[in-house]
């Protein structure tokens, strides 16, 4: 599982000209699910997303987590993160999970995150053509793996 997180002041997702998810200060998480991912991968990633220290403390050091700042989380499925880009000039997707498995694990990720962090989670729409807007804070961007 590859999850690209961006620390944001705000972010939103639009599908068919309708905003379907939006957050204020927090993390935008673009989620790429791979063939070998499991429910255990999802659990590990949820814990990492909520506890990863990317927000500044009073001294300006990245010592605070999403939980610490009471921030919000926007989860967006993005299978292109699972692409193999090592060879050639076109990405290969042989490492990406099949759509059904990807959907199941993404929905599990959303469910688990909502259990731990209710009312602070928003999401895009799995498999949809989404327009994602954000104001990156920092900029701060990290690639997490589970």
Catalytic positions are 78-80
Local structure of residue 92 (DSSP, 8 states): B
Q: Please, is 105 exposed, middle or buried when counting C-beta atoms within 10 Å of its C-beta (0-12, 13-18, 19+)?
A: buried
Biggest CA pair distance of the chain: 46
Q: Rounded to whole angstroms, what are the CA distances from 98 to 5, 44, 126, 131? A: 23, 21, 13, 23
Region of 127 (left: φ > 0; alpha: ψ -120 to 50; beta: rest) is: left
């Amino acid at each position: 599982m590859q999850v690209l997180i961006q620390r944001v002041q705000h972010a939103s997702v639009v599908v068919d000209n309708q905003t379907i998810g939006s957050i204020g200060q927090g993390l935008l998480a673009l989620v790429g699910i791979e063939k070998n991912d499991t429910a255990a991968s999802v659990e590990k990633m949820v814990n990492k997303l909520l506890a990863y220290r990317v927000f500044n403390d009073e001294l300006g050091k990245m010592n605070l987590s999403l939980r610490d700042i009471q921030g919000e989380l926007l989860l967006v499925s993005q299978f292109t993160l699972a692409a193999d880009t090592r060879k050639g000039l076109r990405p290969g997707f042989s490492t990406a999970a099949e759509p059904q498995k990807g959907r199941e694990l993404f929905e599990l990720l959303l469910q688990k995150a909502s259990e731990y962090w209710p009312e602070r989670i928003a999401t895009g729409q799995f498999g949809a053509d989404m327009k994602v807007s954000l104001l990156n804070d920092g900029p701060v961007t990290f690639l997490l793996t589970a």
